[in-house]
Chain A
Amino acid sequence: MTSTRTPARGSLGSGFVTAAKGRLQQLLAFASLIVIFAFFSIASPYFFTYDRFVVILFSTVVIGTLAIGTTFVIITGGIDLSIGTGMALCAVMSGVFIVKLDLPLGIGLVATVLFGGLMGLVNGVAIAVLKIPPFIATLAMMLVAEGLALVLSDSAPIYFSDEPGYTKISTGNLIPGVELPNAVLVLIVVAIIAGVLLTRTVLGRYTYSIGSNEEATALSGIDVRKWKIIIYAFAGLFIGLAGIMISARLGSAQPATGMGYELQAIAAVVIGGTSLSGGRGSIVGTLIGALIISTLNNGLQIMSIPQEWQSVILGCVILVAVYTDILRKKEA
């Protein structure tokens, strides 16, 4: 964005080329999204409609929110496996705050998001202070969250029937005249905030630095331990938000629905060109990755392809996406 404002210099051309190279994976991902979309539009007469478009966006919200948060973690070279069951726990917490403790809606929502942040904080401390590898630390948190969600809800769904405003968060329609559910707006706003934070702030810059070369970052005088905790806690906020979005969509907190979401979210991040070895990635890429996954799921459903095959196809898409990324890096 700034490059358009800088005066024309010799450096501009090469700067543009570097920027374009960096965007290539995103362009590729976006092109695949278009291709997939075109394919389903041709294959099924019911696919290419505004309603279908909204449905796909709507079904991207939960995975997209989780994926955006975990993009930060993955750029540092870490991983977070606890986001799926953590989301279920946050949904249950939302039920506890709003239904069981009868807190005002606004306070309940903020408390839920902060609870997600707390989970992230615990992950961050385990990883940065206790030096437990991220895979293990968040695997432990995944199991703890799965159990706690069941314990705190007595293994039964918590219904928000007395709080009609709650489902509006997801299915309401804030903009009059345009048929766009609030959930999609939430995703868009969250993505913009995350994108700005990742590209324009110290937090984002350090996220990339740590993933690129943790030792060099530490020797540059940056308190890597502190920043890792901050990044994990920050990513945790998105777990809390995803918990709200999924329970608002269903009208209830389902304590046993989280498992599996973490892998879908990580798949979205990877398809979007974020490197699991750290240092590289973007929010736009992650969003496209999440859209690819929900478009695939939706399109295959319409074509009446059994659910079992959807996983098989998604698995192949991940392989192809990551392999093209590797090919691209070899060329560079």
Chain B
Amino acid sequence: MLTQTTESSADRPPLLEVAGVNKSFPGVRALEDMRLELRAGEVLALVGENGAGKSTLMKLLSGIHTADSGTFALAGQPLRITGPRHATELGISIIHQEFNLVPHLSVAQNIYLGREPRRGMLLDERRLVRRASELIERLSLPLDPNAVVGKLTVAHQQMVEIAKALSYDPKVLIMDEPTAALNDAEVATLHELIRRFVLPDTGAIYISHRMEEIRRIADRVTVIRDGNYVDTVDVGSTTTSEIISMMVGRTLAENAGPQGVRSGREVLLEVTGLSTRAARNTTQLKDVTFDLRAGEILGFAGLMGAGRTETARAIVGADAVTGGVLTLRGRPVRIANPADAVAHGIGYLSEDRKRYGLLLDKDVKTNVTLSALRSRFARGGFVNDRAVRATARSYTESLRIKTPSVDQTTKFLSGGNQQKVVIAKWLARDCDILIFDEPTRGIDVGAKEEIYALLNELAEQGKSIIMISSELPEVLRMSHRVVVMSEGRVTTVLDADEATQENIMHFATLRPDENARDAVELGLDPAETGAETGAETGAETGAETGADERLADREGGA
């Protein structure tokens, strides 16, 4: 339905053009010679793995960051975006993945935040509500302008964001993962809105991991990888697996693949039917089931928001669960809080070391001995400082933690050495199961190798390791088996020899509903079939479903 407009606009200058853009952050080259071309009247999908540079590109377009070099042009006119406000004035509206809403204010107040209609010195609340009502009506959104935003469902909050973005009458609408929190019916409604927005002189950029949605809504798709532009293709003439291989087409690190098989080993931990309640900003776990063997590195792959961190936090009792059984060495165990988990020998190393892993203003020896303080370093409540010091020294030596002394405050250590301090803490506690969440995030290449060697060594010693990682080469290189998650469910468990970047990405982008699972069993490409059936049913339900039904759908579908 959109092919006509695409053709007619082909000879005009593109609506939005990004060319030769470079952007570096200290130590990281985020974007290199980036290109992007949005034609008038089209929906352009932007895809790439985690860390490919999508968010950086968004931040350049919204004026949060400034490019090191390169050009931007809107309808042929060169652009210099100085800030988020300037971007909206120029006609570029961006809906970020994380909402920018004030929960205590009403829908109308949120939409016009910062540009409230006034009468003299006072706010004109009546005109505010009237304007918001007109906007909401024009967009035919099921919103009450007087409702308090914090009390709305996530889907309705998303609509407030959209109304806010469209209230500026933008030429270009950019959406970052707009459907992450929506169910099928809500997605269809959103797509309907996008289609109505895209006129011959406007365009939309749609960032998503979900291939079926991209097939449904987008005309063309631009693939980026490791900060580089890969290609832009027509969605109609490209298969999903072609797009995926463009996304991951990266050569593997050398000496790939773990040594030896672990299938014969004893099952140490069985997780069955782990589920959590739906909550803001976290992914709801649905029936997460897998097992962990002794001496095994079990990789956890998935896209952002797949529920991997949530799984780890649920296992160690950091977040409440609504269902599920943990079986440790054949016996069911109850873990209500992290103290229970540690007592059972399960340690969790968070992806956010600074927030959840370290006492940053305390020294190395205090951090290393924190977890084992009572069991190993105290008698009658008194801390044996000499033992604390000696143990900390021995770990700084064996793990090669670069620090002037064990009295050094941990905030002054490098990322890699901080990570080693956290690892030392769990080794001192003698845990059998270690859950590493993004063990090499923010760590330079040399230190990464050392962490890898350490993980292998620990597994050789018989420790069981769960390694959550968003870097596929890392997952493939380290894991004996790979658990792939998508949207709070386990979509597959792959052995090392059957795991490839392509099939991990395939299972990571799967919408794990019933149809998709059936399709996998039948050996079909579920993304392809999902796209076709979804396009038809989606359009119908979207047009007909009212607000209340959508709400019911959301709760029922969740």
Contacts and interface: CB of A to CB of B under 8 A. Distances in A.
Interface of A: 2, 6, 9-12, 14-15, 18-19, 200-206, 208-209, 212-213, 215-223, 225, 279-280
Contact of A220 (B360, B370, B378): B370
A206 to B, nearest CB: 8
B12 interface: no
A213 B367 CA distance: 11
Contacts of A212: 359-362
B13 interface: no
Nearest to A12: B405
13 contacts: A11-B404, A14-B407, A18-B363, A18-B409, A202-B373, A209-B359, A209-B370, A212-B361, A216-B359, A217-B370, A220-B370, A220-B425, A222-B370
Q: Most A CB atoms within 10 A — which of B337, B347, B363?
A: B337
B126 interface: no
A201 B338 contact: no
A213 B418 CA distance: 15
Nearest to A16: B407
A14 B362 contact: no
Interface residues of B, number: 40
Contacts of A220: 338, 342, 370-371, 425
A108 B453 CA distance: 63
B381 A202 contact: yes
A20 to B, nearest CB: 11
Q: Lowest 5 CB-CB distances: which A-B pairs, in order? A: A221-B342, A11-B405, A15-B407, A212-B359, A220-B371
Contacts of B359: 208-209, 212-213, 216-217, 279
By DSSP majority rule, is chain B's interface helix, strand, loop, or mixed?
Answer: mixed
Contacts of A225: 337
A10 B385 CA distance: 19
Given A2-B389, A200-B382, A201-B381, A221 B371 contact: yes
B231 to A, nearest CB: 43
A216 B356 contact: yes
B360 A222 contact: no
By DSSP majority rule, is chain A's interface helix, strand, loop, or mixed?
Answer: helix
A218 B362 contact: no
Given A201-B383, A205-B383, A14 B405 contact: yes
B35 interface: no
B358 to A, nearest CB: 6
Nearest to B350: A219
Interface in B337-392: 337-339, 341-343, 347-348, 350, 355-363, 366, 370-371, 373-374, 378, 381-383, 385-386, 389
B112 to A, nearest CB: 33
A225 B382 CA distance: 21
B318 interface: yes
A7 to B, nearest CB: 12
B406 interface: yes
Interface of B: 316, 318, 337-339, 341-343, 347-348, 350, 355-363, 366, 370-371, 373-374, 378, 381-383, 385-386, 389, 404-409, 425, 429
Contacts of B386: 2
B474 to A, nearest CB: 23
B378 A202 contact: yes
A10 B408 CA distance: 13
B362 A219 contact: no
A148 B366 CA distance: 43
A221 to B, nearest CB: 3
B337 A223 contact: yes
Nearest to A222: B339
B316 to A, nearest CB: 7
Q: Most B CB atoms within 10 A — which of A10, A19, A208, A222?
A: A222
A282 to B, nearest CB: 14
Contacts of A15: 405, 407
Contacts of B389: 2, 6
Contacts of B356: 215-216, 219
Q: Most B CB atoms within 10 A — which of A9, A11, A208, A216?
A: A216
Nearest to B313: A219
A223 B339 contact: yes
Nearest to A226: B339
A23 to B, nearest CB: 13
Contacts of A202: 373-374, 378, 381-383
A150 B287 CA distance: 58
A213 B538 CA distance: 47
Given A18-B408, A279-B361, A218 B381 contact: no
A179 to B, nearest CB: 35
A216 B232 CA distance: 44
Contact of B355 (A200, A215, A280): A215
A240 B58 CA distance: 60
Contacts of B339: 218, 221-223
Contacts of A222: 339, 370-371
Given A2-B389, A11-B405, A15-B407, A216 B357 contact: yes
